[in-house]
A = this chain, B = another copy of it.
Amino acid sequence: MRVAKLNMVQAINLALHEEMERDPDVIVMGEDVGVDGGVFRVTEGLLNKFGSERVIDTPLAESGIVGTAIGMAVYGLKPVAEIQFEGFSYMTIDQLAAHASRIRNRSRGTYHCPMVIRSPYGGGVRALEHHSEAVATFYIHIPGMKVVIPSSPYDAKGLLISAIRDPDPVFFFEPKRLYRAFREEVPEGEYTVPLGEGKKLTEGDDVTLISWGAMARVCLEALKLVKDVSVELIDLCTLSPLDDKIITESVRKTGRAVIVHEEPRTLGLGAEIIARINEKAFLYLEAPVKRVTGYDVPVPLPKLEDYYLPDAERVADAIKEVATF
């Protein structure tokens, strides 16, 4: 198997190429995904290779994209629909919450809805309003949905392949700040990273550090600032269903935890993680779990954006605080 150094855009693009090659039912649709190759170039080359019936430039209508993708999925295709920016995904919530996520249950398995919604996610690229949001909560809270966010090119490819092959609807968020942030070795050809499983980026005994997406990279940076604390960094990869096991086992070991996310604090996934820790590792806890998060405000426009996003120092401070509680 050939291996190349790819950034996340390339890794996702490769996954799409390979899955479309493998399975003629996989189609890609969304605004500007065809001729333009996507505003981030994630779908580049697909139109040329697979033609306009499988790589579809849609009209500008997010509910329309997701709603028609549902019909396609029910019919037997596997649509991979792009929502151009996460801030426009709100328009898809109705079709996802009222339909995609329920079709299997509502029809008692007679129909199901194997589809992926891809969308860039999160801040850090100095973008327009609505282009820097972290919106996972809306989708995690919908029963029947799965939510995935990779933090590296390798995982992005492997998780996206899993998402495409998953028989249920998956919202696949792509931390846009990592799109071209770094390269790593990504094998060509088939491999998967399983949905529903977190992974340890570092092992440690003192503090469990939990994150995902771009914030997982910020956490890695933060570790350089807290050399004296032994930190176990967990990258959740899948936010729904949540990997309770990896969290619980780690916190039972360390007794301390810090959660880092871009979402506004209130009802960001951090809240649920704390609740699960409370339920499954209460007696092991030696300090309150600490959240380092976006604030309960709209993401500021670029001039003040850096103040909003958790950075390595804020994370490091939190680790120290929790470690010495």
Instruction: Give the interface of A toward B (CB within 8 A).
Output: 87-88, 90-91, 93-94, 97-98, 101-102, 105-106, 129-130, 137-138, 140-141, 143-144, 240, 242, 263-264, 266-272, 274-275, 278-279, 282, 285, 287-291, 295-298
Residues of the B chain whose Cβ atoms lie less than 8 Å from the Cβ of A242: 266
Residues of the B chain whose Cβ atoms lie less than 8 Å from the Cβ of A279: 288, 290-291
Cβ contact within 8 Å between B297 and A105: yes
A264 to B279, CA, bound (A): 16
Q: Which residue of B lies closest to A135 (CB)?
A: B97
Cβ contact within 8 Å between B278 and A288: yes
Cβ contact within 8 Å between A282 and B275: no
A94 with B90: in contact, given A266-B242, A291-B275 (CB under 8 Å)? yes
Residues of the B chain whose Cβ atoms lie less than 8 Å from the Cβ of A291: 275, 279
Cβ contact within 8 Å between B266 and A274: no
A297 with B106: in contact, given A271-B272, A279-B288, A282-B287 (CB under 8 Å)? no
Cβ contact within 8 Å between B298 and A143: yes
Cβ contact within 8 Å between A278 and B274: yes
Cβ contact within 8 Å between B267 and A271: yes
